[in-house]
């Protein structure tokens, strides 16, 4: 996925694609959908409209509109203030793809989607006046039996703080955390990580990327383990840390 971000959720009766990486990731995602026999995506979720999260969606949407072997049922995006709605070519292409499929955008609200053998809780950003699109990221909590996964988009500290103070995360204790914003120092505050206390953490980032992700503050300790940080990062119980640029 390079520097982008994408997660494909498959259950016994449903398929959800959270984000689609950069534009260059579209072919790989389409290949994976074919590999796993996915002919219908019940939901595609753009956590927020940055190109490294929605860049692959236009080609995937165009493919679904042109061919019979892939159908997209629903498209979810965050609610944004008017002055934060992007005018980028990537976002315009995304909207064109949605229209080609005869779909409309569903703005994220607090709800739980039944996926058969699993459930996906939608946790929208509680704020309305952030300076960055990252903090409008849709968070999602996937539970399958007793196992939980928490996906954060690019949520950074302002959104994390608001999620905590609103009580939206009181019940969220995931086994696996998809670390916010590619392991940026702007995300994963002490309070946030202590509240979630994940057993495992995953950072999605590109090899030798120009942003320096993950930042050193997010990766401390030998063997890439996140354990009892003295700095401002994963100061939870020991959490094996996996990076997509290395795995």
Grade residue 232 by pLDDT with cuts at 50, 70 and 90: very low
pLDDT tens profile 198-228: 888 787 655 565 555 564 555 543 233 333 3
- The predicted structure's pLDDT at residue 123: 98
Who contacts 222 (Cβ-Cβ below 8 Å, separation ≥6)? none
- The predicted structure's pLDDT at residue 202: 81
Structure tokens at 25: 């990731």
pTM of the model: 0.84
Q: Region 58-76: what's the mean pLDDT?
A: 98
Give the number of other CB atoms < 10 A from CB of residue 141.
20
Cβ atoms of 43 and 16 closer than 8 Å: yes
Cβ atoms of 142 and 151 closer than 8 Å: yes
Q: Which helix (H) or strand (E) holds 85?
A: none
User: Exposure of 28 by Cβ count < 10 A (0-12 exposed, 13-18 middle, 19+ buried)?
Assistant: middle
Strand, coil or helix: 163:
helix
pLDDT tens profile 88-134: 999 999 999 999 999 999 999 999 999 999 999 999 999 989 999 99
Q: Of residues 182 and 70, which shows the higher confidence score?
A: 70
CA distance 143 to 54: 24
- The predicted structure's pLDDT at residue 192: 87
User: In which residue are the tokens 């995931």 written?
Assistant: 174
Grade residue 28 by pLDDT with cuts at 50, 70 and 90: very high
Share the mean pLDDT of the chain. 85
Give the number of other CB atoms < 10 A from CB of residue 112.
12
Taking phi over 0 as left and psi of -120 to 50 as alpha, with beta for the rest, 224 belongs to left
- The predicted structure's pLDDT at residue 237: 38
Among residues of the chain, what percentage have pLDDT more than 70? 79
């Amino acid at each position: 996925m390079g520097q982008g971000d994408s997660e494909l959720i498959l259950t016994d009766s449903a398929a959800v694609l959270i984000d689609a990486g950069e534009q260059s990731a579209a072919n790989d995602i389409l290949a994976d959908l074919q590999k796993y026999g996915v002919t219908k995506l019940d939901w595609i979720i753009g956590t927020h409209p940055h190109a490294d999260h929605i860049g692959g969606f236009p080609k995937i949407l165009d493919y679904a509109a042109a061919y019979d072997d892939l159908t997209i049922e629903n498209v979810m995006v965050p609610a944004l203030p008017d002055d934060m709605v992007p005018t980028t070519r990537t976002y315009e292409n995304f909207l064109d793809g949605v229209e080609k499929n005869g779909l409309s955008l569903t703005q994220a609200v607090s709800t739980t989607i039944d996926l058969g053998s699993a459930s996906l809780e939608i946790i929208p950003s509680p704020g309305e006046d952030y300076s960055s699109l990252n903090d409008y990221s849709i968070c999602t909590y996937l539970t399958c039996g007793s196992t939980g996964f928490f996906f954060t988009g690019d949520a950074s500290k302002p959104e994390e703080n608001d999620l905590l103070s609103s009580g939206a995360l009181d019940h969220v204790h995931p086994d696996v955390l998809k670390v916010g914003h590619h392991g940026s120092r702007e995300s994963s505050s002490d309070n946030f990580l202590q509240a979630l206390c994940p057993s495992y953490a995953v950072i999605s980032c590109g090899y030798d990327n120009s942003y320096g992700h993950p930042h050193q503050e997010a990766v401390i300790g030998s063997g890439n383990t996140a354990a009892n940080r003295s700095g401002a990062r994963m100061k939870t119980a020991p959490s094996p840390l996996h990076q997509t640029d290395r795995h």
